[in-house]
Structure 1
Amino acid sequence: MRNHITRHFSRLLSGLTIAFTIGLTGPAAATDKDTISAPVMLRSQVSVDNDQIRLGDVFLNVDKYAERTIARAPGPGKSITLKASWLWRVANFYSLDWRPTSKLDTATVTRSSIEIDSEQMVSQIRAEIEDKYRGEGPFEIDLDRNLLSIQLPTNVEPGIRVRNLNIDQRSGRFSATVVAPAQGNILASIPLSGSIYEIIEVAVPARRLMRNEIITARDLQVIRVRKSDILRHAVTDADHLIGMAAKRVLISGNAVTLDDIQEPILVQRNTRVTVELQTDFMQLTAQGKAMQSGARGEIIQVRNLTSGKTIEAVVTGANLVTVAMPTQSAMR
């Protein structure tokens, strides 16, 4: 009987011990599981704003060595790619639980920057030229080559300045150097050169004008062009075009030269004209037939309808001519 009670008590004690042990270890195990750190992961795209790449920039869930520098960052606005084999060596060095699964496990690191584009540079150059160029009016500039943008670090004040500006007033050529930033140490320098072009206003046909058509104010428009693009004998002033006749077909938008226009034809060939003869003592008129067309001031041949003789006369009005060298025989 005593042995039976002893065995029963032993079993009861063992059960209580197991239960007590489970009660103690169960919550502890759950607590340990909750504190397990997240797995280390690679960032495939990384952006940095200074000249250093840190361990925590490239790998996620790195606590102990996150601020350790592992490489030098690229220049502002540029990128580098860290290969899988290099990243694995870094992970091993810092005892990180990470390894690449393939060569495609890379990290591309891009340096943040402040961009100064070519338009900003051209605007600054133009402002500097305006202070030194002695042109007659507005102008535009052409650079000899396209400008690349300047990338500045994010920790500097953005801005540029122009240095060593030289202008040849006769040829319109210039050279200069653009440096950035505007204040402090120079981080970028770009030499450049180009040409200055004066801009002028030119009256040109607003539509196609046919030969002998009289030019009116409605037929013209004013455009702005480079002075160097205009032909030497071009007529730029609208007042000098209005009332003139097109000597040939005039194209819309093209500058008109002196060779393209003439005084309007006042006398047409084979038309009847009035011939005037003036002397110091008298003025005579007769009827004639124009053998040629002519504008004001031009000398044409006219046949006297009465005598049949052909004479030379100066066109002085619409269907009106005056004998160039008046003689009595000319009017017979």
Structure 2
Amino acid sequence: MKHFLLSSLFALCASAALAVPVEELVSEQAADSLGVEMPEHGAFQITFQRKDYDEAELISAFWMDRTTGQFLANAVLPGGTVMRLQGLAVLTVPVTVPVRRMMPGEVITEADVQTIDMPHARIGVFALTDHDALVGKQVRRTLTQGRPVMAQSVTEPLVITRGDKVSIQFNDGRLSLSAPGRALDDGFRGAEIRVVNLVSNTLVTGVAMPGGLVEIVR
């Protein structure tokens, strides 16, 4: 009798050790259903229509509508009982968004953004989700607080603005020349822009550099 009780106790302990939260089991199944399409830092937020038990040993059957996130699952409880689960699995990813409305011309700083979890379905194809892809960029189009930032809405910080007076520099290693000019385009560092040479009144193309310099490369 004692041996039987000990065996039963060990069996119960082993079964309890195998049990894990049902949210975790459903999340694993949902991620597996996406396969290679699962985002690197994606995670599922699970909600149930009804949940009578918090833990289970495994999911014996699983189905999910990848468009809506609705799922059905059979969860095996400790002891072998099968429980039917139904609910919603929402795929979320971390996204860096502005903490305030930002206007064109502003440069994005660390204090201007925060990273939040957002439903993957709400994020556009051209959204910049990474923190490092935003900090240091200059705003081209108004950014809305708490909304993903589209790639076309930001640019590298401008070092020259259209209409600026610039210094045109030419240096091929043997000859060095400079002349005053006026920029016809906006330009970030390294961008090609058009400039009018104010001495000869000719149009030239050069590379925008900090300090109002435009380098002519031959």
Same fold (TM over 0.5): yes
Q: CA shift at 1:130, angstroms?
A: 4.3
Structure 2 residue 43 is matched with structure 1 residue 138: yes
Paired residue for 2:216, among 323, 328, 332? 323
Contact preservation (8 Å) 2:43, 2:91: yes
Distance in structure 1 (CA, Å) of the matches to 2:26 and 2:109: 39
Paired residue for 1:220, among 113, 118, 121? 113
3-state DSSP of counterpart to 2:199: coil
Q: Which residue of 2 aligns with 1:260?
A: 153
Q: Which structure is larger by alpha-carbon Rg, 1 or 2? A: 1
Deviations 1:225-267 (A, max 9, x none): 1233221221122222111101111111111121111111211
Distance in structure 2 (CA, Å) of the matches to 1:297 and 1:270: 18
Q: CA shift at 1:293, angstroms?
A: 2.3
Identity of aligned residues (%): 28
Contact preservation (8 Å) 2:107, 2:139: yes
Distance in structure 2 (CA, Å) of the matches to 1:290 and 1:296: 14
Structure 2 residue 175 is matched with structure 1 residue 175: no
Q: Which residue of 1 aligns with 2:96?
A: 203
3-state DSSP of counterpart to 1:318: helix
Contact preservation (8 Å) 2:22, 2:55: no
3-state DSSP of counterpart to 1:285: strand
Contact preservation (8 Å) 2:104, 2:139: yes
Q: Which amino acid aligns with 2:62?
A: N
Q: Quick one: structure 1 residues 223 and 317, their matched pair in 2 at CA, closer, same or farther if it must change by over 3 Å?
A: same
Gaps of 5+ in 2: 1-19, 33-37
Q: Which residue of 2 aligns with 1:292?
A: 185
Distance in structure 2 (CA, Å) of the matches to 1:169 and 1:191: 14
Q: Tell me how large the CA RMSD over aligned residues is.
A: 3.4
Deviates more, 1:128-137 or 1:220-229: 128-137
Q: Quick one: structure 1 residues 238 and 322, their matched pair in 2 at CA, closer, same or farther if it must change by over 3 Å?
A: same
Distance in structure 2 (CA, Å) of the matches to 1:283 and 1:202: 48
Structure 2 residue 145 is matched with structure 1 residue 240: no
Paired residue for 2:24, among 124, 127, 138? 127
Contact preservation (8 Å) 1:159, 1:182: no
Gaps of 5+ in 1: 1-122, 151-157, 327-332
Deviations 1:200-248 (A, max 9, x none): 2211111111101111111111111123322122112222211110111
Distance in structure 2 (CA, Å) of the matches to 1:236 and 1:163: 33
Q: CA shift at 1:289, angstroms?
A: 1.3
TM-score by length of 2: 0.70
- Report which structure shows greater RCO (CA 8 Å, sep ≥6): 2
Contact preservation (8 Å) 2:22, 2:54: no
Contact preservation (8 Å) 1:266, 1:296: yes
Distance in structure 1 (CA, Å) of the matches to 2:188 and 2:80: 72
Q: Which amino acid aligns with 2:86?
A: L
Distance in structure 2 (CA, Å) of the matches to 1:220 and 1:148: 37
3-state DSSP of counterpart to 2:132: helix
Contact preservation (8 Å) 2:95, 2:117: yes
Deviations 1:48-68 (A, max 9, x none): xxxxxxxxxxxxxxxxxxxxx
From the two aligned structures, give the one with the greater strand fraction.
2
Q: How does 1:75-114 map to 2 (within 5 A)?
A: none
Paired residue for 1:192, among 75, 86, 103? 86
Distance in structure 1 (CA, Å) of the matches to 2:216 and 2:80: 84
Q: Quick one: structure 1 residues 282 and 183, their matched pair in 2 at CA, closer, same or farther if it must change by over 3 Å?
A: same
